[in-house]
Chain A
Amino acid sequence: METPILEMKSITKEFPGVKALDNVTFSVRRGEIHCLVGENGAGKSTLMKVLSGVHPYGTYSGEIFIEGELQKFNGIRDSERAGIAIIYQELALIPELSVYENIFLGNEVTNGVVIDSNESISQAVDILKKVGLDVNPLTKIKNLGVGKQQLIEIAKALKKKVKILILDEPTAALNETDSDNLLRLIRGLKEQGVTCILISHKLREVLEIADTITVLRDGKTVTTLDVQKDKVNEPILIKHMVGRSIENVFPKREKVKVGKELLRLENWSAYSYALGRDILKNVNISVHAGEIVGIAGLMGSGRTELAKSIFGNPDHYRLSGKVFINGVEQKFRGPHDAIKSSMAYVTEDRKGNGLILIEDVKQNITLANLKEITVGGVINENEEILVANKYCSELNIKTPTVQQKVRNLSGGNQQKVSLGKWLFVKPGIMILDEPTRGIDVGAKYEIYTIMNSLVEQGMSIIMISSELPEILGMSDRIYVMSAGKIKGEMPVEEASQESIMALAVDY
């Protein structure tokens, strides 16, 4: 048997508090197209970052062999020298530079001192031909569509004499024609002897193009399948992807009869000017008092965008459709209107847009509802401390005092401060976006318990989550999103990890 072109042996990578990769073994034959699949957080991207040297040698344990030789990468430059090129979902092109300038960025063709534009351009034309792209090399990148930009990234990699090309969800942002083009190109590269590793959630396209598929789950290799020999199909893949161990125990909740409808969306669509495409398409959902509605879907399926578009649309999408709160149609001009209509939104990214890290616990908790503690135009700071103390003890926030800066708290406690802040506005509808991301099991359980007691009091909760066990363990009803659409709705009793995943990967 020939030596594999790439072999990663017993790779283990730990982040504070999380084992992102646990003894992963990954082997790629020369000249094949090898797909890497798994849920969000399964460890695919981390594995590729280890391979490309983003996580340098020494920060992980295990060994990487390329063509049988042990490699110790200290950075991307080292891995590039070994013939590895990685193309991320977020393209690394400079929009204001031209196509040829981007292709040669960092490796400019010079005559010693000055850039030789003519030589660069003529080389660029050849390279562009290889990826089957017919554009003027002088065109600025920003004037090209995402599909073409993707191809230019590949052209850039090819220029560097790449042996192993890694593509991280290359078709996620592409339309069908562009996707087909890209897949055809990858097949073409295979014929030229380039080995490809492809990360993708689109199982149909994976099955269409892959020679071999490796499935990761919870940072471990589940299996490596030969598409032809093992007769792989979608259900088999999904089964391997999910089957995730349910390590969290979910607190029991008395199922109450659901109350009246608090929120309804009708034909809700959104267009993002920033991305230049539709991000939500004809979403229809309904949420009742006393229930937890889970919104499942992969990252990028439009879940967070859905939450933000309802919550006063701070990103200024172009919206169409109707939103009803308590049966009355509402047109929010901003988050303040949504808050007035008794909504709350605990964001996915508590550090980025949830909390003000340089301010203290009490200031964060009262920020969205200062009027409650303001008398005659003046904030009553003593009342503020009382309010903050109350939420600290109710939510068991561990902080020496409420004057502690939020950035000094642990992730779980920060998340509880976020919750406290939004409970203080006394909402009727609460949107929780990835409420337990990056926090430990104990804090998770506490947050689940709080959620249960809130819905028992008649609140309705919309929970967005990437973790299927959490969706299944906490929701009463589940919507599954994919590509900005609601792909399915089911009561939790009829849902399984497999059935949700099948909808989530349905593009």
Chain B
Amino acid sequence: MESLKQTKSETGQTESFLDILKANIGQYFMFIALVVIMIFFTITTDGVFISSRNISNLINQMGYIAVLAVGMTLIIVIRHIDLSVGYLAGFLGAFSAIAMTFWGWPVYAVIPAVMIMGILAGMLTATPVAKLGVPAFVSTMAAGLIFRGALLLVTMGTGTIIINDQVFVAIGNDYIPDINLEGFLPGRHKLTLIIGLIGIIFSIFSAIRSRRTKKSYNFQVPSFGLFVAQLVLISALIGYVAWILSGYNGISWSLVILLLVVGVFQFITTKTPLGRHIYAVGGNPEAAELSGISVSKITYIVFGAMGFLSSLSGIMYASRLHSATTTAGLGFETDAIAAAFVGGVSAAGGVGTITGSIIGALVMMSLQSGMNLMGIDISVQYIVRGAVLVLAVVFDRITRRNQ
């Protein structure tokens, strides 16, 4: 007994850098791959790729896919798939346009209304899955067809609907305002830099606090050197991104929304019982059910969240285009699913993180943006993106098998 305790405190909660790397190789690999891809395109485009303007554009373009990828991650974690999200987003975007343009609804009523509709649509789609065990593939494909029809129906009379509401249009196109500091850092978006600084300070403080709590529990923590190195790396990353963004128009409202979504979902999945329950249902539904977790309730919640995020995606897309079109949402679900898989989600269930999927979305969007800048034909672009997707998944399987 005594000797067992000894070994426990020796190996205890220490995780060497190598262990951390080994355990998370899949996720770090994608991050490294992202950096490599970005450097590659920066070189091939003579630095245009990494320019403030391009990165800013890239993020705005990615926004409406990335929010879907967040929801899709959870859907795949609980062993399902959602093929309806693209047209749901398209339909809800069109609904917002009609409500504002033809019915004269104020934008502050439209947005919550559309969000509620998204949640209800997601839960409705989930009903055959949760209650009768209908495969999500079928249920969501059917829902996708219905939403597509609904989109065509509401845009039938008018075709493309132009949106004139300034607030609504700002969501997908505008940037947070700047503060005026006469002569200080001209040409830079000061508020973006300040927010970056606040982000750095916040992450340092929370890291220090978490380290202190761990110590108060007498748990071993990573060595001080490693800890500092981690903090420096994270701070440099935040600082660099803020610096690049400040060189154009600063942080866009799209990025604000995306960061909020990622923050909330990351928090829920990693810190709350609900998050645990989602991963438990994905890891072993029968065991989860016998542990008192209602698998059908979790299914409703996850699909409801997916519906909510579809509504956000639809709003962001319609806003970005200043209009609702008959083809809005086409192929969104494919992009979201690809981002999730590139980001390390496993179709076998129970595995996959929000941050991973965001990295996956960044990888896919960087490929698209970089190849566009290089003037590569769209046909080749599709082939490359497909190849990257399959490579990422193959790599994921191999590393998982080796574990």
Contacts and interface: CB of A to CB of B under 8 A. Distances in A.
Contacts of B283: 356-359
Contacts of B397: none
B356 to A, nearest CB: 15
B273 A334 contact: no
B331 interface: no
A499 interface: no
Contacts of A354: 287, 290
B290 A335 contact: yes
A359 B288 CA distance: 12
Contacts of B217: 382, 385-386
Interface stretch (B3-11, B108-116, B315-323, B369-377): B3-11
Interface string A294-308: 000000000000000
Contact of B292 (A335, A389, A393): A335
Contacts of A345: 290
Contacts of A403: 13, 15
A312 B217 CA distance: 37
B273 A370 contact: yes
A322 interface: no
Interface in B281-299: 283-284, 286-294
Given A335-B292, A382-B213, A398-B4, A371 B273 contact: yes
Interface string A406-420: 000000000000000
Contacts of A386: 217
B214 interface: yes
Contacts of B287: 347, 352-356
Contacts of A368: 291-292
A388 to B, nearest CB: 11
B291 A367 contact: yes
A359 B350 contact: yes
B382 interface: no
A378 B271 contact: yes
A400 interface: yes
Contacts of A398: 4
A94 interface: no
A355 B290 contact: no
Contacts, number: 96
B47 interface: no
A39 to B, nearest CB: 27
A393 B290 contact: no
B289 to A, nearest CB: 5
A354 B308 CA distance: 33
Nearest to A356: B283
A356 B288 contact: yes
Interface in A418-466: 421
Interface in B205-236: 213-214, 217, 219
Interface in A219-253: none
A314 B289 contact: yes
B280 A356 contact: yes
Contacts of A312: 292
Contacts of A338: 292
Q: What band does the interface of chain B fall in when counting residues whose beta carbon is under 8 Å from A?
A: 20 to 34
A142 B4 CA distance: 56
A370 B291 CA distance: 10
A389 B286 CA distance: 26
Interface string B109-129: 000000000000000000000
A356 B217 CA distance: 27
Given A389-B8, A393-B4, A401-B12, A353 B292 contact: no
Q: Which of B271, B286, B292, B350 has the most CB of A within 10 A?
A: B292
B219 A353 contact: no
B216 to A, nearest CB: 8
Interface in B229-286: 271-273, 276-277, 279-280, 283-284, 286
A354 to B, nearest CB: 6
Nearest to B276: A370
The B contact surface, by secondary structure, is helix
Q: Which of B5, B7, B291 has the most CB of A within 10 A?
A: B291
Given A353-B286, A379-B273, A393-B4, A385 B219 contact: yes
B5 A374 contact: no
Interface in B166-223: 213-214, 217, 219
B351 interface: yes
A377 B8 contact: no
Contacts of A393: 1, 4-5, 8
A335 B291 CA distance: 7
A19 interface: no
Q: Which of B11, B217, B284, B351 has the most CB of A within 10 A?
A: B284
Contacts of A377: 272-273
Contacts of A385: 13, 217, 219
B19 to A, nearest CB: 10
Contacts of A389: 8
Interface string A326-353: 0000000011101110000101000011
A355 B284 contact: yes
Interface string B385-396: 000000000000
Given A314-B289, A356-B288, A359-B283, A396 B4 contact: yes
Contacts of A378: 271-272
A352 B286 contact: yes
A79 interface: no
A363 interface: yes
B187 to A, nearest CB: 42
Given A371-B273, A389-B8, A396-B4, A334 B289 contact: yes
Nearest to A393: B5
Contacts of B271: 378-379
Contacts of A374: 272-273
A392 B9 CA distance: 13
A386 B12 CA distance: 12
A311 interface: yes
A477 B180 CA distance: 83
Contacts of B214: 382
Nearest to B349: A358
Contacts of B5: 393
Contacts of A339: 291-292
B171 to A, nearest CB: 29
Contacts of A356: 280, 283-284, 287-288, 350
Nearest to A389: B8
A368 B277 CA distance: 10
Contacts of B288: 356, 367
Contacts of A379: 271-273, 276
Contacts of A401: 8, 11-13
B13 A359 contact: no
A345 B293 CA distance: 14
Q: Which of B284, B287, B289 has the most CB of A within 10 A?
A: B287
30 contacts: A311-B290, A312-B292, A314-B286, A335-B291, A335-B292, A336-B293, A339-B291, A352-B286, A353-B284, A356-B280, A356-B284, A356-B350, A357-B284, A359-B280, A363-B280, A368-B291, A370-B277, A374-B272, A377-B273, A378-B272, A382-B214, A382-B219, A385-B13, A386-B217, A389-B8, A392-B8, A400-B11, A401-B8, A401-B11, A401-B12
Given A357-B283, A359-B279, 10 more contacts: A336-B293, A338-B292, A355-B287, A356-B288, A363-B280, A382-B214, A382-B217, A396-B1, A401-B8, A401-B13
